[in-house]
Structure 1
Amino acid sequence: MSGGAWIAPKSDDIDRILASLADPAHAGVLTLVPREDLETANESPDRALWVYYAEGKPLAFAYLSHFATETPKLEEFAVFVKGMGIGAMAMGALIESLRGNPGFKRFWLHVATTNEPALRLYRKFGFGQDEFLPAHWTNRLGETIDLLRLWRSLDHPALI
């Protein structure tokens, strides 16, 4: 699959994103962002919602906050089809998109300590500077879980 690009969501992408967020497999690791927040994200100077498209197909989404600062935060990130390397392709393109904004210095996120696939992906792309946050978040399953806060400088390319 050739490289793609992050763009604002198309008309049917919000439903696709909501379905991904509502997927029971994501209940322990993703927040169910309200439709209104997704629909208005790109109207706010501090939030963004992007969909990663390659070969005309939506493959992943990224919901970001702190967009009006030097340190945007990845709130939610998921691929629509797993096991095809889309996460790595989309994350690399996301980092490069953020690097294209000279006002952005670092990129950060929270990740559940138990979310091994996400941790592997973020480590692959140079996220570090861990901060352990014990019992920091209660997921949709009612579990209070530990998180890591990970940072990545945007001064170097997304090489893997």
Structure 2
Amino acid sequence: METKELKNGQIMTIREAMKEDASDIISYLNEVAGETDYLSFGQGEFAFSAAEEEKYIEEGAENSGSVMLLCFIDGELASVSQLIGHTKKRELHTSELAISIREKFWGLGIGSINMEALIQYAKNSERLKLIYLEAISENKRAINLYKKFGFIEAGEIPALMQVDGRYFDVTMMYLVI
């Protein structure tokens, strides 16, 4: 467990997810998905059961290319971020990055803290050589964050996501470790 001071002076606690966090993570993700159209699922659409999420957390803990970090502010789950390591032999050196932050905590530096922690995890891993991600192209705040940490745009896929009849282009990005 680690603590960090945010831009507003609040203290955030960061730790790896445990299977006991499963229900809280599911609730958080279903709520956060209603705060933005920039996630790959909408409000109430994160359909894992608690048992499935527990299994996912346990499998991730056993995968040296994976880590799930939870950030808490005053006991409230403020952010979930992760590296999702691959299990296919030819892709074991890669991991997909995902970050979500509860809207009321946007702009406090949580994204940067998460990026630093995830990139450091990857650098400490003997396995990981490449991190990649997808970002909605109009989500300039996220894309600028990724660029700040050295991610490179690999290209754009038009209309990859559709939310309520609106299509979003997606920018693919990567970072060589």
TM-score (norm 1): 0.76
Aligned with 2:164 (options 141, 155, 158): 141
Aligned with 2:17 (options 1, 8, 17): 8
- Where does structure 1 differ by over 4 angstroms across 4 or more consecutive aligned residues? 45-48, 53-57
Comparing both structures, which one devotes a greater share of its residues to helix? 2
Q: Is the 8 A contact 2:93 2:130 kept in 1?
A: yes
Q: How does 1:49-60 map to 2 (within 5 A)?
A: 49-53=68-72, 58-60=77-79
RMSD of Structure 2 on Structure 1 (CA): 2.7
**1:42 paired residue number:** 57
State the alpha-carbon separation in 2 of the partners of residues 88 and 105 from structure 1: 20
In structure 2, the CA distance between the partners of 1:135 and 1:122, relative to structure 1 (3 Å rule), is: same
Q: Which amino acid aligns with 1:114?
A: E
Aligned partner of residue 94 in structure 1, secondary structure: helix
- Flag the structure with more relative contact order, 1 or 2, with Cα contacts below 8 A and sequence separation at least 6: 1
Aligned partner of residue 35 in structure 1, secondary structure: coil
What is the count of residue pairs matched by the alignment? 149
Q: How does 1:7-26 map to 2 (within 5 A)?
A: 7-9=16-18, 10-11=20-21, 13-14=24-25, 15-21=27-33, 23=34, 25-26=35-36
Q: Is the 8 A contact 1:48 1:65 kept in 2?
A: yes
Q: Deviations over 1:114-147 (max 9, x none)?
A: 0011111111111104222122222x33322211
Highest Rg: 1 or 2?
2
Q: Deviations over 1:41-90 (max 9, x none)?
A: 2233577543135786643112443433211112x411221121111111
Q: How does 1:1-160 map to 2 (within 5 A)?
A: 1=5, 5-9=14-18, 10-11=20-21, 13-14=24-25, 15-21=27-33, 23=34, 25-26=35-36, 28-32=37-41, 33-36=46-49, 38-44=53-59, 49-53=68-72, 58-68=77-87, 69-74=92-97, 76-80=98-102, 81-138=105-162, 140-154=163-177
Structure 1: unaligned runs, 5 residues or longer: 155-160
Q: Deviations over 1:94-127 (max 9, x none)?
A: 1112222210111000011100111111111111
Structure 2: unaligned runs, 5 residues or longer: 6-10
